Structure formats: C-alpha cells, structure tokens
Amino acid sequence: CSVLSPWLCVTVPCPQRSGSKHTSTPADNYYLARRRTLQVVVSSLLTEAGFESAEKAAVETLTEMLQSYISEIGRSAKSYCEHTARTQPTLSDIVVTLVEMGFNVETLPAYAKRSQRMVITAPPVTNQPVTPKALTAGQNKPHPSHIPGHFPEFPDPHTYIKTPTYREPVSDYQVLREKAASQRRDVERALTRFMAKTGETQSLFKDDVSTFPLIAARPFTVPYLTALLPSELEMQQMEETDSSEQDDQTDTENLPLHMSTDDSGPEKENASVLQQNTSLSGSRNGEENMIDNPYLRPVKKPKIRRKK
Amino acid sequence: AAPVSAAVAAAPPEGAMSNGVYVPASAANGDVKPVVSTTPLVDFLMQLEDYTPTIPDAVTGYYLNRAGFEASDPRIIRLISLAAQKFISDIANDALQHCKMKGTASGSSRNKSKDKKYTLTMEDLTPALAEYGINVKKPHYFT
C-alpha cells in the first residue's frame, strides 16, 4: 500500500515535549481535553493492532497526524461543498475528499465490522462559570444587535462603569472674593516677614526682638533724590534712543556725582544709586559697596552695545 | 411547445435507462462494462445509525468545526471518524509488520516465536510513514 497522499508530502517534525504553560484559559483546557482524548484513541488503536507499549514520541506523532487528518477532511469537504454553491456538506463531498486524499473508500465497511472495538467516553462538557446570585450587582447590559446570541453575556456593570471622583469647583462670587482677599493678605504678610528676616529690623518692644519685627525705616538724607533721578529702565531707554549724543550721558553722569558731593557722606542708598548709574555705562566706581545679601543686590543688567 | 417535446423525446435514441444512469448503446452490447455511478457508502451510512466509532462524536465534531465543517448529520461525523481511525490503524499495522520483520530477521528464535510484547518505536514508525509519503525527522537530542 504505497499510496502517496499529496497533502502529506511534507516533513513532519517529531513533536517534542511542549514547554510548560503557567496559565491556561478555558479555551486551552477545552483544546487539551480533546487532545488527550485523541491520544487515548490512538493508544486504543495501537492496542488493537497488537502493540503492548509505545514510545511517547510515536504516540504524539500519531495524535498529531490524526488531528491533522480530521481537520483536513473537514476543510476539504467544505471546499468541495462550496465549490458547487452549497453550504451543507453531503456524503458525496466527503467521499470525493477521501478519494482525493488517497483513502480507499471500498475498504471502509469491512473495517467497520472488525471484531475488537473499543469505545472511548467523550470528554466532559464544562459550563461557563456563573457568578452566584449573591455576588451579582446590577443588571447586565443586553447584547447589541450585531452580537449573536450564543456569545457570552456582558459582565456585571460594576466592572466597567466609571464614576469621577472630583467635585465641581466653587464658583460662588462671595466665596471667590473672600478667597482672593485672604490670599493677598497672606502674600503681603509673607513678603514683609521675609524682608524683616533678611534685612534690618526695628522692634517695638525692648527685650523681644523677634516677635513682631518691623522693617527698619532708614530715612534718606536727600529724600527727593529718588524722585529726581530717572530709574534704571528710563536710563536704558535714554541710552538706546540718543546713541550719538555723548553729552547727554555725561550730563546724566555728572548730575548724581555733583549731588553726592553735596552730601555729608555717601550713604548706602546713594552709593547704590550711583553704582546703578555708572554700571550702565559699563564702568564701576572705586567706592563699590557690595551688599552681602544676594537678594538685595542691585540687578545686574547685561552690557548693552550702543549703536553708533 | 411541440418542437421542445419532440426534442426531449428524441434525446436518448436507443440508450436504455437503468437505475437512473444513462447507459450508452455500445455498453448495452457488452463491449464496455458499465460503471454504476451511485454514490458509494450510501448503504453503509444507513448502518452507522447505531454504530459508535472509537473516536467520540464530540471530539471529531470539535475538530471539524474548527476547520469550518458544520455537520448536519451525525452519521457523517461517524463516517469521518471511522475513516481517520482506519488511516491510523493502517499505519499501525504497517509499523507492526516492520517490528515483526526486525524481530525474526536474524532468525534468532526458531523454537519459540518472538515474544508477544511489541513496542512501537520511532524506528518502526518512520519507514511505515515513509511509504505514505510522510517524512518524520526525529531530533537526536531533546531540549
């Protein structure tokens, strides 16, 4: 019987021990149960043939072949049936399939009548796990129309329904005004305390210095000086606008110098103001007063190149 | 309508209709043996009503469904399972022949026959499958 079946002219690798799977889904269990049944069937056929024992690899090979054979018959019979514009396969489709696969159909009745026959029980049918009544919560969502009826139901709604946990922000006018006012007051307090901690303080109480610090008020000798002198920003703008006029610059420079000589002695504020003015032109005086506190140092502007 | 019926009537001029099969005139003479083209196994299918093959219907049906084959008749399923069984048992018988040949080839035992314990090994299975065109390669090592 050297019949060559064309569908099997491939190299079938010997099935080895499959790697252990830690998780198996119900579909896998389903598949494995039937696979084991096929193995039992193969073993019974081998026993019928006269073998006492068999190699594991041989049994696996035959099981794999049996499974492939059944699947191939099914696929081929379905193809033949659809080839003639039908949907239900009939006996003729199967006969043609078997003939195409090299199977001698005539011998089948004789084989069926052989004496020793073994019957294997079918694998048990497991039902889908049903959540007990006590644990169900809420109504399951019904199937939409595009899902067939034999599909499993939707799970309980508590598994997928989301409830947001944020609250609506308060938009009451009165509450918002209060909030804004209290925030502003807190900011003022924090800033003044910071200034008191980092600068000079005066205290109202003789012994207790730290309880109610007040920022020290240092009177200017020439109070109107800061009002007369232009601020840094204005100086910068003046520099940029009249670029060719050197006289204006020297005038502005001379002004504070002249003013300072009038004073009894250069005070800290004056010196710092002078320092700011002269630093604009890019040069510094000899009498620099570096303030230790970095937060109270004057701002160092980047050197601006004058366009000529 | 008249010419149509005349054509129909004239279609099989001298052929005899037997068993629903059109037998040509030459066949009726005895030159060619007629082949009755009824589907084989029809009678056998009737006998499968109360027959349970070794493979359960549920298992065969499962694999057929995976291939897209929806069986309308449970007897069809039994037929397919029988065919698959026969396929495997044919191979098993061939392997048994190989095994027996190896046992008594050297002529070691003349007085007593080979002991009845036969073990199916890959060495016997491989040539049996080779006759069917199936080449099985066994790796020399197992990972």
Instruction: Calculate mean pLDDT across residues B8-16.
Output: 45
Residues in B touching A125 (Cβ below 8 Å): 58
- Who wins on pLDDT, A285 or A115? A115
User: Could you give the domains of chain A?
Assistant: 26-113 (1.10.20.10), 169-235 (no CATH)
Identify the band that residue A117 occupies on the pLDDT scale cut at 50, 70 and 90.
Answer: low
Contact yes or no for A70 and B80 at CB 8 A? yes
Instruction: Calculate mean pLDDT across residues A113-139.
Output: 63
At B52, give phi and psi (nearest 5°).
-115, 110
Instruction: Calculate mean pLDDT across residues A23-34.
Output: 78
Domain ranges of chain B: 41-105+119-132
| Average of per-residue pLDDT values in chain B | 74
* Cβ contact A17:B82 at 8 Å: no
Q: Report the candidate in A300, A109, A145 with the shortest Cα–Cα distance to residue B82.
A: A109
Weakest-pLDDT range from A215-219, A223-227, A240-244: A240-244
Weakest-pLDDT range from A10-24, A73-87, A124-138, B50-64: A10-24
| Coil/strand/helix, residue A162 | coil
Output the pLDDT for position B15.
Answer: 46
* Cβ contact A58:B121 at 8 Å: yes
Residues in A touching B49 (Cβ below 8 Å): none
* Cβ contact A76:A100 at 8 Å: yes
Q: Which residue has the tokens 């064309």?
A: A6
The shortest CB-CB distance from A70 to any of B54, B63, B96 is to B63
pLDDT by residue (tens digit) across B20-77? Answer: 556 555 555 666 655 555 677 788 888 888 778 888 888 899 999 999 998 888 889 9
CA distances from A262 to A250, A252, A274, A276 (A): 19, 16, 14, 19
- Who wins on pLDDT, A97 or B141? A97
Identify the band that residue A29 occupies on the pLDDT scale cut at 50, 70 and 90.
Answer: confident
Residues in A touching B116 (Cβ below 8 Å): 52
Q: Which residue of B has its CA nearest to A120?
A: B54
CB count in 10 Å sphere of residue A53: 14
Residue type present at position B101? M
Q: What is the ipTM of this complex?
A: 0.71
Q: How far apart are the first and last CA of chain B?
A: 79
Contact yes or no for B66 and A58 at CB 8 A? no
Output the pLDDT for position A180.
Answer: 94
Instruction: Calculate mean pLDDT across residues A1-14.
Output: 39
* Cβ contact A269:A256 at 8 Å: no
| Residue A223: both structure tokens together | 């109070």
